[in-house]
Amino acid sequence: MSSRPPTNRRSSPYNAGKSIPSMATPRKPQEPQKMGFGGLFFILLILGGAVWLMMLVFGWGPYAAEVTATPSPTPTEALVETTDPVQVNATATLGGPTATTAPTATVTLTPTATATDEPMPFNLFGDPDTIASIIFYPNLDCNWLIIGGQVVDLKNEPVLGLTLHLFGELGGVTIDQQVLSGSATIYGESGYEFRLEGLIVNSSDTLFLQLVDTNGLPLSQAYGLQTYEDCQRNMLIIKFQQVR
């Protein structure tokens, strides 16, 4: 191992006792900026807008009157059906003459008729036949309108004593006549007949024929008839038959 004498380094005469100046200039601490008038106005403007918005949303201050309450549902008055007019009279006694107020309201409800689907016990048997009256009555003039036929039951047996009602209008003349089944045996044991003089006219559903009982209650529909201004078709043959 070799031993070398320590080397003595001499410091430079230029470094002793001297500091090397820095090229950077030290910064001075900045002073806090003071808020000017413009910044203060801006902050006040923001605060004022926030307060106005809260007043508008929550209904404070002058905006409280603008809050609209939700209307409650209006009760609906129920009308009770009655066949007689309802009149309300109010009488007030004030220690002197009696004062009577006029009726405040009059409500009249007409009952609605209830239709029935129950079938009638008698119907027409086929369509009415139109023939010349001379076949039954050779000596009768052509200016007669004759309506005849018979009434039978479910077994095609004659039914006596039921009422045939002929009604309506024909040639400007009002018709309302009744005959009983069995009163005109020329058509059979339960035959019936109507004779209308001078009413040979063309018409459709202005004259009606209906079968009713002894109390006037309908036993069939009211059938509209068709008539002709024709001597070859001045007689109608109509048969009623029981169906139930």
pLDDT in tens, 54-63: 777 776 766 6
- Comparing 12 with 163, the larger pLDDT belongs to 163
CA distance 191 to 160: 8
Binned at pLDDT 50, 70 and 90, residue 23 comes out as low
- On the CB side of 76, CA atoms within 13 Å amount to 3
Residue 202 lies in a domain: yes
CA distance 211 to 40: 106
Residue 26 lies in a domain: no
Residue 182 lies in a domain: yes
pLDDT in tens, 120-134: 999 999 999 999 999
In this prediction, residues 42-70 reach a mean pLDDT of 70
Residue 159 lies in a domain: yes
Q: How many CB atoms are closer than 10 A to CB 193? A: 18
DSSP-assigned states of every residue in the chain: ----PPP-PPPPTTTTT--PPPSSPPPPPPPPPPP-HHHHHHHHHHHHHHHHHHHHHHT-GGGGGGPPPPPPPPPPPPPPP-SS-EE---EE--SSSPEEPPP--EE--PPPPPP--PPPSEEESSSPEEE-GGGT-TTS-TTEEEEEEEEE-TTS-B--SPEEEEEEEETTEEEEEEEETTS-GGG-TTEEEEEEET----EEEEEEEEEE-TTS-BSS--EEEEE-S-GGG-EEEEEEEE--
CA distance 199 to 7: 169
Residue 101 lies in a domain: no
Residue 236 lies in a domain: yes
Winning range, highest mean pLDDT, from 29-38, 106-115, 176-185: 176-185
Structure confidence at residue 53 (pLDDT): 76
Q: Do residues 146 and 134 lie in contact, with contact meaning Cβ atoms separated by under 8 Å? A: no
The two tokens of residue 158 are 């004659």
Residue 147 lies in a domain: yes
CA distance 148 to 142: 16
Structure confidence at residue 125 (pLDDT): 94
What percent of the chain lies above the pLDDT cut of 70? 61
Tell me the β-bridge partners of 165: 178, 210
Q: Do residues 146 and 163 lie in contact, with contact meaning Cβ atoms separated by under 8 Å? A: no
Q: What is the pTM of this model?
A: 0.53
CA distance 162 to 121: 13
Binned at pLDDT 50, 70 and 90, residue 195 comes out as very high
- Comparing 42 with 166, the larger pLDDT belongs to 166
In this prediction, residues 108-127 reach a mean pLDDT of 68
- Comparing 63 with 9, the larger pLDDT belongs to 63
Residue 162 lies in a domain: yes
Residue 155's domain comprises 122-242
CA distance 7 to 161: 169
In this prediction, residues 22-38 reach a mean pLDDT of 61
Which CATH number is 182's domain given?
2.60.40.10
Mean pLDDT over each residue of the chain, to the nearest integer: 77
Domain count, the chain: 1
